[in-house]
C-alpha cells in the first residue's frame, strides 16, 4: 500500500504538471485517430486474412460452403457499350474502365474479397448520382456504392461485376453553423478533412476512427460507424441530423434537415444509417458537432480481476462523469504479444488486465483534479493495482499505443480469427474466458481487448497457420454464446458480405423478414449493393 501511495504521489505530481502546462494536446488528439479498428494502411502479412477470395466466392476449402461465402451471381444485366456511352455522357472523364485504375475499387482493405467490376463511376453531384441510378435501375444493372473502402466485412466492394459508384469526388463542405455546430457536407468528404476543417473552427466531429484518413462520412453513416468517441458523444443515430439519399430508382430523398428537433412524420434518414448502401446512396450529410475539448488526459491502469476493472469503470463514470471520453481495456495476453512481437514494455507492473482512460474537458485544472480524486479513490478501494499518468505528449502517445497496437501485435502471432462482439458490459470478458476453456490446446492464444464503455469486445483466436478444425471449434460456438446472452455478432463492423448469414444470431426472424420487406419496398429490383447485409434466404 505504501508503494501504491508513493506511486500515487508521483501520479499527483504528474497531474499537477498536466494541469499547469497542458491546455490542449494536438498529439493526444492525433493518437485518438489511430486507435480505431480499420486503418487505411494495408499490412499484407498474408497469414492475417480471415477469408481468401476463393473461400468467400466458392467455399473451396470446405465441402459445405461457409455462410460467409458469396452466393451465386444474381441475374443482373451485364454492362454493354451502350451503357458505357450513357455513363460517359453523364460523367465525361469520370467513367473509368481501365482495369489498373479499377483494381483498388475491386478489392477490400483486408484483401479478402475481390470483385470483377469493369466500370467505376465518379459522380460529383447528387443529380449525377440520380441519373446513374435511374438508368441502372431501368437497365437492371447492379451497383456497388463505395466510399473510402475501409470496411472489414466485404460490404464496400463488388462481389461480381457490379458497377462501382464512388462518392470520392463528392467532397465539398456545404455549410457550417458555428453557433449550433451543425455541419452539412457531401458524402465523399474524408473524415479527417472534416475533422481538420472543424478543428480550425473550434469544433470536432462526433466520431473518430483509425481509418479517418481514407474513410468518407457517407460510408461512416451508411455503416453506422462506432469508433472512439461513441462513449462520449453517442452513436450516429443521435448526431446525424439529416441525410440526402438517392434511391435505387434515382429519386432524390431530401431529408437534409439542419435541426436538432423535427417531429414531422417518420424519421426516414434512420433507415439509411447502417444499411450499408443496400437501401439508397447517401449523397449528403448533416451532423451535429461537439466543441473541441480544451484539455485531454490519459491514464494507464492495471487491475487484478475483470470484476475490479468493472468496478473501476463504475467509479470512473461517477467521478469523472462528464469528462470521461474513453475507457478501453486489454488483457495480459495482449500485453504478452506487445512485449514479444513489438518489443513494447509494460509501463506498469504486470497485471491480468489493463485499462486506458481518457478524459476530455473544457478546463485542464478541473480535469486534472477530477482524475486525481478518481485515482485516489480507486487506489484506496483497491480496485486498481498500479497505474501511470501521461505527463507529456510522447508518454500519452506511448500509453495509447498499448491499446492501439494490439491488432498489429496479433498479426505477428500467426493466423488470427477475429470476432467483434457486443454484450452486456458485465459479460464481455466471460466470452474470452469461456473460449479459452472451450478451445483448450487447440488455439495458440485467445486474447481479448476492446471498448468497455461500449460493451464491445474484440475476441481474437490465433493459431500457427490456417486451421479449419479450429474454425469449426470456434464457430458456431462464439455466435451461440453471444446469442444466448442477447449480444450482437457485429457490434460496429456491420454484416456486409461476410456476416450476412449470421444475422439470425442477433435478430429474430420477424425482424429479418421486415428488413427484407423494407429492401423490397425501396429497391424492388435489388440492384443496390447485392449480396450484402441481408441473409441469402431472403433473396
Among 143, 285, 390, 534, binds a copy of itself (CB under 8 A): 534
In the sheet with 324-331, reading across from the earlier edge strand, the strands are 386-389, 295-303, 353-361, 324-331, 445-451, 456-463, 415-422
User: Among the candidate windows 2-10, 50-58, 417-425, 433-441, which touches a copy of itself by CB under 8 A?
Assistant: 417-425
CB 535 within 8 A of CB 290: no
* Nearest distance in Å: CB 487, a copy of itself: 7
Footprint on residues 165-224 left by a copy of itself (CB under 8 A): 177-182, 202, 223-224
Q: Does the footprint of a copy of itself cover residue 355 (CB under 8 A)?
A: no
Q: Does the footprint of a copy of itself cover residue 23 (CB under 8 A)?
A: no
* Nearest distance in Å: CB 278, a copy of itself: 9
* Nearest distance in Å: CB 127, a copy of itself: 15
Q: Does the footprint of a copy of itself cover residue 3 (CB under 8 A)?
A: no
Q: Output the CA torsion sign for 522, 525, 529, 533.
A: positive
Burial of residue 92 (CB within 10 Å: 0-12, 13-18, 19+) is exposed
Q: Does the footprint of a copy of itself cover residue 411 (CB under 8 A)?
A: no
Q: Does the footprint of a copy of itself cover residue 265 (CB under 8 A)?
A: yes
CB closer to a copy of itself, 15 vs 79: 15
Q: Does the footprint of a copy of itself cover residue 368 (CB under 8 A)?
A: no
Query: How many Å apart are CA 502 and CA 504, to the nearest integer?
Result: 6
CB closer to a copy of itself, 169 vs 173: 173
**Residue environment code for 323-357, b if the CB has 16+ CB neighbours within 10 A, otherwise e:** bbbbbbbbbebbbbbbeeeeebebbbeebbbbbbb
CB closer to a copy of itself, 114 vs 292: 292
Among 21, 511, 524, 537, binds a copy of itself (CB under 8 A): 511
C-alpha cell at 460: 481474437
CB closer to a copy of itself, 9 vs 314: 314
Q: Does the footprint of a copy of itself cover residue 480 (CB under 8 A)?
A: no
CB closer to a copy of itself, 52 vs 311: 311
Residue 172 makes CB contacts below 8 A (sequence gap 6+) with 185, 186, 189
- How many Cα atoms within 13 Å fall on the side-chain side of residue 58? 4
Q: Does the footprint of a copy of itself cover residue 512 (CB under 8 A)?
A: yes
In the sheet with 173-177, reading across from the earlier edge strand, the strands are 173-177, 182-186, 281-288, 240-246, 252-255
Q: Output the CA torsion sign for 217, 219, 222, 224.
A: negative
CB closer to a copy of itself, 234 vs 464: 234
Q: In terms of DSSP H, where are the helices of 140-206? A: 191-199
Q: Does the footprint of a copy of itself cover residue 239 (CB under 8 A)?
A: yes
Q: Output the CA torsion sign for 448, 451, 457, 459.
A: negative
Residue 19 makes CB contacts below 8 A (sequence gap 6+) with 364, 365, 367, 368, 369
CB closer to a copy of itself, 235 vs 388: 235
Length of the chain: 539
Among 7, 12, 201, 366, binds a copy of itself (CB under 8 A): 366
Among 321, 464, 468, 524, binds a copy of itself (CB under 8 A): 321
CB closer to a copy of itself, 291 vs 539: 291
Q: Does the footprint of a copy of itself cover residue 145 (CB under 8 A)?
A: no
**Residue environment code for 184-214, b if the CB has 16+ CB neighbours within 10 A, otherwise e:** bbbbbbbbbbbbebbeeeebbbbbbbbbbbb
Among 506, 523, 525, 527, binds a copy of itself (CB under 8 A): 506
Query: How many Å apart are CA 420 and CA 457, to the nearest integer?
Result: 6
User: Among the candidate windows 41-49, 114-122, 208-216, 484-492, which touches a copy of itself by CB under 8 A?
Assistant: 484-492
CB closer to a copy of itself, 243 vs 432: 243
Q: Does the footprint of a copy of itself cover residue 16 (CB under 8 A)?
A: no
Supply angle C-alpha 286, 291, 293, rounded to 5: 140
- R_g over Cα of the chain: 24
Q: Does the footprint of a copy of itself cover residue 134 (CB under 8 A)?
A: no
Q: Does the footprint of a copy of itself cover residue 257 (CB under 8 A)?
A: yes
CB closer to a copy of itself, 205 vs 425: 425
C-alpha cell at 284: 449528403
Among 42, 44, 200, 264, binds a copy of itself (CB under 8 A): 264
C-alpha cell at 127: 443529380
Q: Does the footprint of a copy of itself cover residue 515 (CB under 8 A)?
A: yes
Footprint on residues 275-294 left by a copy of itself (CB under 8 A): 275, 279, 291, 293-294
Q: Does the footprint of a copy of itself cover residue 524 (CB under 8 A)?
A: no
Whole-number Cα distances in Å, 382 to 327, 379, 407, 517: 18, 5, 30, 53
C-alpha cell at 197: 476543417
Q: Does the footprint of a copy of itself cover residue 454 (CB under 8 A)?
A: yes
Q: Does the footprint of a copy of itself cover residue 235 (CB under 8 A)?
A: yes
Among 84, 174, 252, 342, binds a copy of itself (CB under 8 A): 252
Query: How many Å apart are CA 447 and CA 395, to the nearest integer?
Result: 25
Q: Does the footprint of a copy of itself cover residue 514 (CB under 8 A)?
A: yes
CB closer to a copy of itself, 401 vs 427: 427
* Nearest distance in Å: CB 146, a copy of itself: 18
CB closer to a copy of itself, 317 vs 466: 317
Amino acid at each position: 500500500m505504501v508503494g501504491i501511495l508513493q506511486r500515487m504521489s508521483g501520479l499527483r505530481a504528474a497531474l499537477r504538471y498536466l494541469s499547469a502546462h497542458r491546455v490542449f494536446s494536438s498529439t493526444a488528439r492525433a493518437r485518438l485517430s489511430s486507435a480505431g479498428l480499420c486503418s487505411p494502411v494495408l499490412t499484407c502479412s498474408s497469414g492475417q486474412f480471415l477469408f481468401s477470395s476463393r473461400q468467400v466466392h466458392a467455399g473451396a476449402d470446405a465441402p459445405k460452403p461457409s455462410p460467409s461465402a458469396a452466393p451465386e451471381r444474381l441475374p443482373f444485366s451485364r454492362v454493354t457499350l451502350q451503357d458505357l456511352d450513357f455513363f460517359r455522357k453523364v460523367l465525361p472523364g469520370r467513367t473509368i474502365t481501365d482495369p489498373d485504375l479499377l483494381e483498388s475499387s475491386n478489392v477490400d482493405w483486408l484483401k479478402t474479397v475481390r470483385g470483377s467490376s469493369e466500370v467505376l463511376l465518379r459522380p460529383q453531384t447528387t443529380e449525377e448520382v440520380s441519373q446513374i441510378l435511374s438508368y441502372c435501375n431501368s437497365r437492371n444493372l447492379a451497383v456497388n456504392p463505395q466510399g473510402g473502402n475501409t470496411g472489414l466485412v466485404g460490404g464496400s466492394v463488388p462481389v461480381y461485376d457490379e458497377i462501382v459508384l464512388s462518392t470520392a469526388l463528392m467532397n465539398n463542405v456545404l455549410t457550417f453553423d458555428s453557433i449550433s455546430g451543425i455541419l452539412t457536407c457531401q458524402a465523399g468528404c474524408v473524415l479527417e478533412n472534416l475533422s481538420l476543417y472543424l478543428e480550425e473552427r473550434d469544433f470536432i466531429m462526433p466520431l473518430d476512427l483509425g481509418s479517418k484518413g481514407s474513410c468518407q462520412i457517407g460510408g461512416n453513416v451508411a455503416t453506422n460507424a462506432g469508433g472512439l468517441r461513441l462513449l462520449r458523444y453517442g452513436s450516429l443515430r443521435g448526431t446525424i441530423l439529416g441525410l440526402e439519399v438517392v434511391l435505387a430508382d434515382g429519386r432524390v430523398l431530401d431529408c437534409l434537415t439542419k435541426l436538432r428537433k423535427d417531429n414531422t412524420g417518420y424519421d426516414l434518414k434512420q433507415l439509411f444509417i447502417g444499411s450499408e448502401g443496400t437501401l439508397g446512396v447517401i449523397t449528403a450529410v448533416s451532423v451535429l458537432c461537439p466543441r473541441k475539448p480544451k484539455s485531454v488526459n490519459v491514464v494507464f491502469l492495471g487491475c487484478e480481476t475483470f470484476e475490479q476493472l468493472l468496478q473501476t469503470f463504475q467509479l470512473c463514470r461517477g467521478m469523472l462523469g462528464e469528462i470521461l471520453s474513453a475507457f478501453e481495456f486489454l488483457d495480459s495476453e495482449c500485453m504478452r504479444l506487445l512485449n514479444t512481437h513489438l518489443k513494447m514494455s509494460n509501463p506498469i507492473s504486470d497485471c491480468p488486465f489493463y485499462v486506458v482512460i481518457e478524459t476530455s474537458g473544457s478546463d485542464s485544472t478541473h480535469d486534472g483534479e477530477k482524475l486525481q480524486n478518481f485515482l485516489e479513490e480507486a487506489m484506496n478501494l483497491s480496485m486498481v493495482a498500479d497505474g501511470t499518468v501521461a505527463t507529456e505528449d510522447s508518454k500519452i502517445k506511448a500509453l495509447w499505443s498499448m491499446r492501439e497496437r494490439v491488432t498489429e501485435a496479433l498479426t505477428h502471432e500467426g493466423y488470427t480469427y477475429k470476432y467483434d462482439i457486443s454484450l452486456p458490459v458485465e459479460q464481455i470478458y466471460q466470452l474470452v474466458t469461456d473460449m479459452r476453456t472451450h478451445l483448450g490446446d487447440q488455439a495458440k492464444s485467445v486474447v481479448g481487448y476492446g471498448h468497455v464503455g461500449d460493451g464491445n469486445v474484440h475476441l481474437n483466436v490465433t493459431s500457427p497457420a490456417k486451421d479449419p478444425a479450429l474454425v469449426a471449434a470456434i464457430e458456431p460456438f462464439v455466435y451461440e454464446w453471444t446469442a444466448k446472452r442477447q449480444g450482437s455478432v457485429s457490434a460496429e463492423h456491420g454484416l456486409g458480405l461476410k456476416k450476412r448469414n449470421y444475422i439470425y444470431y442477433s435478430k429474430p426472424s420477424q425482424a429479418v423478414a421486415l428488413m427484407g420487406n423494407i429492401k423490397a419496398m425501396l429497391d424492388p429490383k435489388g440492384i443496390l449493393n447485392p449480396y450484402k447485409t441481408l441473409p441469402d434466404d431472403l433473396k
